[in-house]
Structure 1
Amino acid sequence: MTRTLAALPGAARRLCLSRRNGEICTREAGHRGLHHRRGGHLLWSEAQADPPGCAGAGAPAEPAVTLPDGFPGGRALCPVCWGFVPLDGGGRLLAHDTWRGDPTREEADRRREWFNAHGW
């Protein structure tokens, strides 16, 4: 299974963000061999990786407080993966993949600004 990739803010390399037990692989995207975390102390194969779907789906939530520019646009903060997720009509988090990084630098900047203003 191909994992979504993300770039660290200001970094030139893209990371593989496969997860196992919530730990994120810190090797470069497209690496060969086992995924690892903490300098290789936790190793796993793709077959042992967490599924991409987040366990927070379906949890009750409220839209997150917005920044002056409207970010995060009515989405709620998932308490499991810390991603901003749309809500269904009943105030529950929609099914979503575990947050694995922002798709754009702009989203990463706005996300950082939100967390700096509102905390965890």
Structure 2
Amino acid sequence: MTRTLAALPGAARRLCLSRRRGEICTREKGHRGLHHRRGGSLLWNDLQADPPECPGAGTIAEPAPTLDDGFPGGRALCPVCWAFVPIGAGGGLSAHDTWRGDPTRAEADRRRDWFNAYGW
């Protein structure tokens, strides 16, 4: 039996995605109280969270290989946050926020297909 991601239990659950020391909060989006990483003792509040800007900005990069449909459209893969990011005029990754999830299911599917084709 083949199960798609959308059919898996919890697939529609949206995580908070606040980060501390690169670890992502595993509570549901909009939760009250401290952020935490399940399976560890890492707890934090909003003031202790990592800034949204990724420290990978400026890293020299080349466009990632493309799928048949052209995804990721000339963007490079950030080695810090794993976001697909435009390359600036100097050949470095443009300033960007740390990847915190795909905005749409379609983007998530394309991203999954890319990682299945090219790995990390």
TM-score (normalizing by structure 2): 0.89
Matched with 2:28 is: 28
1:40 shift after superposition: 5.6
Measured against aligned partners, the alpha-carbon deviations of 1:71-120 in whole angstroms (never above 9, x if no partner) come to 00000000000000001122110000000000111110010000011010
Whole-Å separation in 1 of the counterparts to 2:76 and 2:50? 23
Runs of 4+ in 1 over 4 A off after TM superposition: none
Structure 2 residue matching 1:81: 3-state secondary structure: coil
CA RMSD in angstroms comes to 1.1
Which protein has greater RCO, CA pairs closer than 8 Å, 6+ apart?
A: 1
Whole-Å separation in 2 of the counterparts to 1:41 and 1:101? 23
* Pairing of 1:87-98 with structure 2 (within 5 A): 87-98=87-98
Q: Report sequence identity in percent.
A: 79
* Pairing of 1:32-51 with structure 2 (within 5 A): 32-39=32-39, 41-51=41-51
Matched with 2:114 is: 114
Whole-Å separation in 1 of the counterparts to 2:27 and 2:89? 39
Larger radius of gyration: 2
Code of the residue aligned with 2:28 in structure 1: it is: E
Matched with 1:12 is: 12
TM-score (normalizing by structure 1): 0.89
Whole-Å separation in 1 of the counterparts to 2:61 and 2:114? 17
Matched with 2:81 is: 81
Code of the residue aligned with 1:31 in structure 2: it is: H
Q: Show structure 1 runs of 5+ residues with no match.
A: 1-8
1:57 shift after superposition: 0.3
